């Protein structure tokens, strides 16, 4: 990039788009807080520092690296916290504002991304297999009727607002031709036809799914792009099976003992794992899941896994797993998710105009110790 060439100066919003392309926000859980959490989307992005957790220390690392964007896996806030008047979140927000640093998070959308879901298996050195998670995701089917000549522009507007994203695909929709009939009333200002006269128009019915969080934006885009004064939009709540964006992986390895596998995990990740189950038990089908993974125990059992390698599992969940002949290797929430930091950094390096060396990766900040 030529010095002073503002046409190619990336902005924070460009970083957000690169993250959205790799880890669509509709993959995130409904309770999650992802995307831009603090800062100005139109501000120039001089550099991006990537780490696991937002913290004052991470902000200091970003400043040292010459970055004015901090991208983290864990969000700054998960629960509504108003006012932000004290404590850890306040200190981070204050430090970010004072340093003019924007904070971005990619959390459960990164967890579910194919590369994110495979990151732990890759780090451990086991061949990544099929997704572990088998659940459904809430979606809304958006249906709209539009004159045929306006169908393409309307579909494009809907897609830009977030409709039609299914797994690793975007712009998904279905259309069928038909005839629309209507009679404008006296107070109307019709695009086609005249008040008091029935009109019939060749129309297309367009259907596209979208995440619940994107519905308002999609409807707004329809109203802005649609030629009709009163376009008919219907919304149908539904569930669809999760596609490529699913948590965890199920991997097959040569038969070994639980203890030997735990030693491999400890060596690869430089950690002291906690083992649930008989150390001499033979294992060959391995389920992996980063972070807190107790909710995935039923999925691991359904996959006939011998062992679940996870960041953490609640005590009683681990007992239930072992009782059903599923061993568990706990490695620590943060340790299990550190490989995701590098996946996030690689996605950010696709930001147009942002040189790869301007994307830096922080150092792990261990908050707990074993003796």
286-327 per-position pLDDT tens digit:
999 999 999 999 999 999 999 999 999 999 999 999 999 999
SS3 of residue 42 by DSSP:
coil
Give the pLDDT of residue 4: 40
Give the pLDDT of residue 366: 66
Backbone angles phi, psi at 116, to 5 degrees: -70, -45
Answer with the residue of higher pLDDT: 202 or 83. 202
Burial 102-132 (b: 16+ CB within 10 A, else e): bbbbbbbbbbbbbbbbbbbbbbbebebbebb
Number of Cβ within a 10 Å radius of residue 72 = 23
Give the pLDDT of residue 202: 92
Q: What is the spatial distance between Cα 203 and Cα 175, in angstroms, rounded to a whole number?
A: 10
- Helix 87-99 / helix 56-64 crossing angle, nearest 10 deg: 20
Range list of H helices, the chain: 12-22, 56-64, 87-99, 108-112, 114-124, 151-160, 215-225, 258-269, 297-302, 315-323, 333-348
With 80 as the cut, is the pLDDT of residue 7 above it?
A: no
Give the pLDDT of residue 28: 87
| Structure confidence by residue, pLDDT tens digits, 103-151 | 999 999 999 999 999 999 999 999 989 999 987 888 999 999 999 999 9
Q: What percent of the chain has pLDDT over 90?
A: 74
Domains 6-111+338-361 and 136-241 share a fold: no
Give the pLDDT of residue 2: 41
Q: Which CATH entry fits the domain spanning 6-111+338-361: 3.30.428.10, 1.10.760.10, 3.40.1390.30, 3.40.50.1000?
A: 3.40.1390.30
Q: What is the DSSP string of 318-341?
A: HHHHHHTT-EEEE--HHHHHHHHH
pTM score, whole prediction: 0.76
Give the pLDDT of residue 82: 54
With 60 as the cut, is the pLDDT of residue 329 above it?
A: yes
Please give the torsion angle defined by the CA atoms of residues 153, 159, 161 and 167, in that order, rounded to the nearest 10 degrees: 180
**Domain coordinates in residue numbering, the chain:** 6-111+338-361, 136-241, 246-331
Give the pLDDT of residue 1: 41
Please give the torsion angle defined by the CA atoms of residues 62, 66, 68 and 69, in that order, rounded to the nearest 10 degrees: -50
Q: Which fold has domain 136-241?
A: Alpha-Beta Plaits (3.30.70)
Q: Please choose, from the candidates 323, 327, 342, the residue with its C-alpha nearest in 3D space to the C-alpha of residue 287.
A: 327
| Structure confidence by residue, pLDDT tens digits, 145-191 | 999 999 999 999 999 999 998 877 889 999 999 998 888 887 777 77
Q: Do 85 and 122 form a contact (C-beta atoms < 8 A)?
A: no
Give the pLDDT of residue 371: 59
Element spanning 293, H or E: none
With 90 as the cut, is the pLDDT of residue 205 above it?
A: yes
Q: Give me the CATH code for the 246-331 domain, please.
A: 3.40.1390.30
SS3 of residue 193 by DSSP:
coil
With 60 as the cut, is the pLDDT of residue 235 above it?
A: yes
Give the pLDDT of residue 5: 43
């Amino acid at each position: 990039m030529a010095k002073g060439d503002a046409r190619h100066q990336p902005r924070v919003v460009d970083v957000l788009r690169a993250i959205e392309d790799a880890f669509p926000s509709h993959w995130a859980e409904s309770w999650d807080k992802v995307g831009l959490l603090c800062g100005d989307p139109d501000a120039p992005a001089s550099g991006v520092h990537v780490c696991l957790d937002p913290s004052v220390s991470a902000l200091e690392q970003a400043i040292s690296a010459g970055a004015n964007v901090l991208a983290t896996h864990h969000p700054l806030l998960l629960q509504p916290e108003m006012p932000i008047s004290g404590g850890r979140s306040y200190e981070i927000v204050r430090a970010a504002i004072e340093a003019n640093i924007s904070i971005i998070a990619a959390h459960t959308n990164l967890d579910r991304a194919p590369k994110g879901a495979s990151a732990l298996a890759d780090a451990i050195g086991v061949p990544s297999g099929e997704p572990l998670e088998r659940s459904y995701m809430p979606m809304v089917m958006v249906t709209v009727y539009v004159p045929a000549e306006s169908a393409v522009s309307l579909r494009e507007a809907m897609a830009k607002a977030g409709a039609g994203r299914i797994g690793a695909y975007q712009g998904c929709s279905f259309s069928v031709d038909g005839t629309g009939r209507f009679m404008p009333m006296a107070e109307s200002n019709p695009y086609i036809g005249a008040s008091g006269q029935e009109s019939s128009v060749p129309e297309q019915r367009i259907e596209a799914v979208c995440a619940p969080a994107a519905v308002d934006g999609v409807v707004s885009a329809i109203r802005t792009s649609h030629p009709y004064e009163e376009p008919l939009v219907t919304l149908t709540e539904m569930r669809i099976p999760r596609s490529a964006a699913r948590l965890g992986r199920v991997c097959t390895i040569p038969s070994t003992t639980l203890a030997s596998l735990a030693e491999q995990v400890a060596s690869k990740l430089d950690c002291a794992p906690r083992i649930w189950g008989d150390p001499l038990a033979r294992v060959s089908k391995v389920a992996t899941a980063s972070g807190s993974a107790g909710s995935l125990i039923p999925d691991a059992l359904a996959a006939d896994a011998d062992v679940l390698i996870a960041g953490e599992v609640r005590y009683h969940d681990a007992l239930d797993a072992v009782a059903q002949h599923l061993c568990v290797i706990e490695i620590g929430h943060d340790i299990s998710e550190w490989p995701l930091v590098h996946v996030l950094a690689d996605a950010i390096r696709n930001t147009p105009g942002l040189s790869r060396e301007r994307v830096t990766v922080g150092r792990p900040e261990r908050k707990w110790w074993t003796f």
